[in-house]
Structure 1
Amino acid sequence: MAMGIRELLLQGLNSDPKYIDLSCRYDEQGSKYDEECTNVEDYYYYKAEEEIVRTFAAVGLSNLEMPFKLFELGCGSTKKSQIIIDEILRHESGLAYGLNDLSADFLEKVCEDLFAIYGSRLKVDTLAGDFMTVFPKIRNYRGRKVLLWLGGLQCFPLNIQPKLLLNIASTLQENDACLISSDITQDREKIEKAYMDFDDSKPNSKLYKNGVHVLNRELKSNIDLSKFELEGRYVENKDVSSASYIQVWLRSLVEQSYVLENVGKTVAFGKGEKLLLYGGNGMSHKYTLGQLEHLFASVGLQIVNQWDNGHTALTMVKRKI
């Protein structure tokens, strides 16, 4: 059974080192901050991913037999996926579209926006919740389906990625496919400009810290962010069975403790102690093409096509038969 957000937060606070799971930041406000990050000049990934999605829409959709239902994992605002939807609706009278996000409220707003654009030509249903909750629902759909996962795989720890991909492999039938985008940038300077500008006015800093706001709300606490400093680093790894990644944390500037009223517990931080803003090894993984190939093959997914522009790869995979 999927862990609820309170249980997930408590698990992180009871660990050594303490952490807030990456997924906890993406409430409705966090999703808005995430969208704002796409407008930051140095945030290269969004623009590179949009470019590769346009390339796929122009030349790659011919690889997919119509009709199918499109399921999107971690849909966000759907601006990039609309590029694919627009191309499909140039040739088809309608499209069934199942979209997933953690926040049901955020999904409701996205649906309103989609209806304003496409009307009844886009038949939308929503799948709110984490992936472990959503995969069985997608699996129950017996028609042809294409899964779309833009910028999501890289957000999960290395030890979790195979589990998620195994669920995708078990969800795909013989004629189904999954499209997964991945960050393949290896330029340290570019990465650090994009992900480690910790100016409090910038949306990426607001997004990093949003997990604390969620914690304060869900556990009824009052952790004071002014008593922490945001820090981070880029960890480079060339091993074919691994990936490079970002680590970001809050460092406690003083000894401090806070009551978690909803669970009757207290959490304490020593001076200099880190509160990690991710679970596992890190977040925002950066792959080589060889690392992607190894990862997909290890879970029984076969690469049938791939597009890349030096910053982002969009990989079409199918289940090995």
Structure 2
Amino acid sequence: MILWINGITNLSYDDQVNTFRLLSAMMSDKCRLVFSADITHDRDTILKAYNDDEGCSRTFIQHAIVRLNKDEGSQIALTSFKYAVDFISDNNPDKMSFVRAYIQATRNIRYPIPGLGIDLQMKKGERLYFHEGAGFSCKYTLEQLQYMVEKAGLRLEKTWTDDKKRVVFCQCTKTS
């Protein structure tokens, strides 16, 4: 049995399919893959999770700027930015929904980053994203998960969800 908890959600769609494909190639007919995925599409719940009242998510995500200041000698002031989160919902079978977190310049800014030999220049309203690709923390429908694992040579055999249908555990086998 291969147990993979919440491992696909921050990869691009193609990387998710390719990762499942690699796992499928390693599996025998006796193997089972069990993985978890977020299935909630409740916009308010998702936005609150990534923009909580206490600011935990904002602090975690903005830590990239703190590290840039410390490691590369910049002095980027987070007060020059507004933190924001979007939820992009897509129910097409060959797609997924995802979160985008970013800071948006509240004015025209220019900050030298000496360690990288560059300047961060942004116009008022311009966004700086904290993830690669379209987004992160992907959310799925069961149909999307089934389509994805089938593209990778797997068969979705069983699913289990919590009472509020926010997360799913999926059991897959290799297709013959």
TM-score (norm 2): 0.86
How far is 1:211 from its partner? 2.1
Distance 2:31 2:67 in 1: 37
Distance 2:3 2:77 in 1: 38
Correspondence for 1:256:
109
Aligned with 1:160: secondary structure? helix
Distance 1:179 1:311 in 2: 17
How far is 1:290 from its partner? 0.5
Correspondence for 1:191:
46
Matched, 1:182 2:23: no
- Contact kept in structure 2, 1:158 and 1:281, CA below 8 Å: no
Q: Percent of aligned positions with the same letter in both sequences?
A: 24
Distance 1:210 1:259 in 2: 18
- Higher strand proportion (structure 1 or 2): 2
Matched, 1:292 2:142: no
How far is 1:223 from its partner? 1.9
Distance 2:85 2:146 in 1: 28
Correspondence for 1:205:
58
4+ residue runs of structure 1 moved beyond 6 angstroms?
none
1:129-187 deviation per Cα after TM superposition (whole angstroms, max 9, x unaligned) = xxxxxxxxxxxxxxxxx332222312223233222222322333443332210111122
Q: Where do 5+ consecutive residues of structure 1 fail to align?
A: 1-145
Task: Give the counterpart letter for 2:117 in structure 1.
Answer: G
Distance 1:215 1:177 in 2: 42
How far is 1:234 from its partner? 1.5
Q: Where do 5+ consecutive residues of structure 2 fail to align?
A: none
- Contact kept in structure 2, 1:158 and 1:280, CA below 8 Å: no
| 1:155-166 mapped onto 2 (5 Å cutoff) | 155-166=10-21
How far is 1:256 from its partner? 1.8
How far is 1:216 from its partner? 3.0
1:216-254 deviation per Cα after TM superposition (whole angstroms, max 9, x unaligned) = 344342222111110122222111111222121100112
Correspondence for 2:23:
168
Distance 2:151 2:50 in 1: 29
- Aligned residue pairs total 174
- Higher helix proportion (structure 1 or 2): 1
Q: RCO greater where, 1 or 2, for CA within 8 Å and sep 6 or more? A: 2
Distance 1:209 1:225 in 2: 8
How far is 1:319 from its partner? 2.8
TM-score (norm 1): 0.50
